[in-house]
Structure 1
Amino acid sequence: MEQISIGSVVKLKSGSPPMTVTGYGKKYGSGKILVTLVEDKEQLKCQWFDATGTLQQDTFPVASLQLA
C-alpha cells in the first residue's frame, strides 16, 4: 500500500475535495504545526482550492485521511 507523504493527493475519509499534503508534524499550543519531523507524522498540513478557486489550508489527523 502506498504511503502518504508530502506531495500526495489525499481526501478526508468522510469526503472532501482533493487536497495536496504540504507538511506534517505535531500540533502544539495554538494548534499550528510548529515542528515537522519525520517521526512526528501525527498531523498532515494540506492545501486545496475551494469552489470559488481560493486556496485553502488546514491540518488534519493522519487517521482521517486516505489517498485520493
Structure 2
Amino acid sequence: MRLGKRPANAKPAYHPGDVLTLKSGGRPMTATWTGPVLFAPGNWLICQWFGNDGELQQEMFPEETLERAHNALAA
C-alpha cells in the first residue's frame, strides 16, 4: 500500500515536539520520534497522547496520515 508521493529520502515534514492530529480526526498528539522504518516506505512518526481515562497512549503513524493540530497551544 502506497500512502504518499514523497520520495523515500525526503526530510520529515514534522519533528519531535510537534502537536499533530490524524487527518481523519481525533485527539491532539505529540510527536516523539520521526524517521524511516524497515517495514514500509516513507517517514513514520511515534506519537503520544492522553486517552479519556488519563492514561498515556502511544502509536506509530505514517506521516501522510497526520496534520498539524489546529487548536493546540504553541510552546
Bin the TM-score by the shorter chain.
Answer: 0.7 to 0.9
- TM-score of the superposed pair, with normalisation by structure 2: 0.67
Q: Which residue of structure 2 aligns with residue 37 of structure 1?
A: none
Give the gaps of 5 or more residues in structure 1: 32-40
1:1-68 alignment, distance < 5 Å: 3-28=13-38, 42-68=43-69
- TM-score of the superposed pair, with normalisation by structure 1: 0.73
Counterpart contact for 2:14–2:34, Cα < 8 Å: no
Structure 1 vs Structure 2 CA RMSD: 1.8
Give the gaps of 5 or more residues in structure 2: 1-12, 70-75
Compute the displacement of 1:16 (Å).
1.1
Whichever structure has more strand as a proportion of its residues is: 1
Quick one: distance in 2 between partners of 1:28 and 1:16? 27
Between structure 1 and structure 2, the one with the greater Rg is 2
Identity %: 43
